[in-house]
Amino acid sequence: MSTTFATPGVYINEINGFPNSVVPVATAVPAFIGYTPNAEYQGKSYYNKPFKINSFAEFQAIFMLPNPPPPADPARQYSPQYYLVAQKTTPTEGEYLTLSGQSYSILPDPNTIYYLYNSIRLFYQNGGGDAYIVAVGPYGPASGKPITDPTVSVINPNVQLTDLQRGLALLTKEPEPTMYICPEATLLSLNDNTTLMETMLLQAETMQTAVCIFDVIGGANPDPILYTNDIQNFRNSTGSAGLNYGVSYYPFIGTTIMQSTDIDFTNLFGGDTKQLAAILNPPSAPNPVAAQILGMIQTPPAKPLSNSQLQAALLVASPVYGQIINHVLTEANILPPSGAMAGVYAVNDQEAGVWNSPANTSIVGAVSLPIRLSDSDQENLNIDAVSGKSINAIRFFNGQGILIWGARTLDGNSQDWRYISVRRTMTFLEQSIKLAARAYVFSPNNANTWAALQSMISSFLTGVWQEGGLQGASPAAAFSVSVGLGTTMTADDLLNGYMRISVKVAVVHPAEFIVISFEQQQATSG
């Protein structure tokens, strides 16, 4: 529009020399849903409020209990309870130890088992950055007794489906998270876990911004032969909607995330040192030094020692106590892999790009697996002809250690969406272009706007192609962008205010199966 000048002088009219551009969205921002000991900062509660953090220190400041002033011991942030339960015969499953010919199973109080805290630690140990925390409530009371069957999966009655669903629903107003992770979902009953996973997949499909990373119930203590029942139960529990937005990993991983400073006598027998004394100071093998230390715990002197000092003294006085702590640590360190995988995704995207498969790489802090899968074992996980639901294996390889050995979504039979990298790349492209195109909402639906949009999107996709995110010898072979009357729109679209843009991309696929052909060649003279 022309401007009428009424005063003599010099006027400057700035004209944009460069068009709008597409700003790539973040690709590795997980949203963790679960229970925390605390959720308060500067007098404000953050329970049931998605909160973005960028470090483990920030997580501790808001979602963990404050430490008391020295010289008192730091408040325990995560205090699972374990019991040594005498067995008539040597256990064949689960963590156990044998003392003076008597076998004891290491069994947890199920009401005290939570996974979110250690999953956040694994996430940052594996290179994680920004994350959303949805704390749905504090820890519940202990039951005061262990589980009765070491072969069954732990179900924590303090973990409620309604709490986790409420936390998930809060994320409908948060478009930035690109992963939904609920480590404590495996502490639900099978039916409740089914409902939660189906709800997560439906929400992910509706929002089209995030993938769901699932853990498999039974992955902590799988039966060497009957573990396939756990796999089948998982496949039956994920429904049929939104499968290309779901990813699962199996089994759990043995980690080093919890150290000897995280477990002491307060984590044994619900803090009842009398039961511990029966093992450390039995009539058949008395240990008066250990008995004296336990007496100081039960009846503190005028100047009591701190728990860390008592713990150190017990470890010196009783080798048996050291064995107990080591076995309890082994049990407590078996964790679902979803938190670690979120960190692996973050590093993968930073170093190679979202179009690279987060596989054939290690997990920092993973030192053991509750089951070692072979090639034949993984066949049924990777490809299932009936359900088509692929499960990614975490495997041990001699000389290489523990590797992530799978790159598929739950939609394993789909030619379009079977690979994680393809699903996440398409989400990245869609959301980046969608947000950039908002600048043109209410702009004239004419050739000038169409040309500007086409140029903007093409420039962005050319950059992705140059980085290796799209396949093709040239940009023309890697993508195409169409917009305009007669190509993507009709006259009715113009009258109704619709601008339709068609974007076609050739996303790179992983080389999942590499076939090398060998044949003998006859020797030649010379």
Task: Name the band, by pLDDT with cuts 50, 70 and 90, for residue 168.
Answer: very high
Handedness of CA 317, 318, 319, 322 (dihedral sign): negative
Question: Crossing angle of helices 56-63/116-125, nearest 10°?
Answer: 160
* pLDDT tens digits along 194-232: 999 999 999 999 999 999 999 999 999 999 999 999 999
Nearest to 181 by CA among 26, 29, 405: 29
In the prediction, which pLDDT does 74 show?
53
| pLDDT at residue 514 is higher than 90 | no
Q: Which own/partner pairs from 202-207 qualify as long-range (CB within 8 Å, at least 24 positions apart)? A: 202/241, 202/242, 203/168, 203/169, 203/171, 203/172, 204/180, 204/242, 204/245, 204/246, 205/241, 205/242, 205/245, 207/172, 207/175
- State whether residue 177 is helix, strand or coil: coil
Task: Name the band, by pLDDT with cuts 50, 70 and 90, for residue 120.
Answer: very high
* Residue 253, Ramachandran bin (φ over 0: left; ψ between -120 and 50: alpha; else beta): beta
For all residues of the chain together, what is the average pLDDT? Answer: 92
User: 30-78+114-258+334-420 adopts what CATH topology?
Assistant: Rossmann fold (3.40.50)
What values do phi and psi take at 8, rounded to 5?
Answer: -65, 145
- Mean pLDDT for 411-427 is 95
- Mean pLDDT for 1-9 is 75
Task: Name the band, by pLDDT with cuts 50, 70 and 90, for residue 69.
Answer: low
| pLDDT at residue 71 is higher than 60 | no
* pLDDT tens digits along 103-114: 899 999 999 999
* pLDDT tens digits along 259-271: 888 899 999 999 8
Return d(Cα 261, Cα 76) in angstroms, integer.
Answer: 10
| pLDDT at residue 303 is higher than 90 | no
- Mean pLDDT for 12-28 is 82
| pLDDT at residue 525 is higher than 80 | no
In the prediction, which pLDDT does 63 show?
95
* pLDDT tens digits along 349-396: 999 999 999 999 999 999 999 999 999 999 999 999 889 999 999 999
| pLDDT at residue 277 is higher than 80 | yes
Q: How many CB atoms lie within 10 A of CB 230?
A: 20
Amino acid in position 162:
T
Q: Where are the domains of the chain?
A: 30-78+114-258+334-420, 79-108+259-332, 450-526
In the prediction, which pLDDT does 526 show?
63
- State whether residue 25 is helix, strand or coil: coil
Asked if residue 154 lies in contact with residue 147, where contact means CB atoms within 8 angstroms, the answer is yes
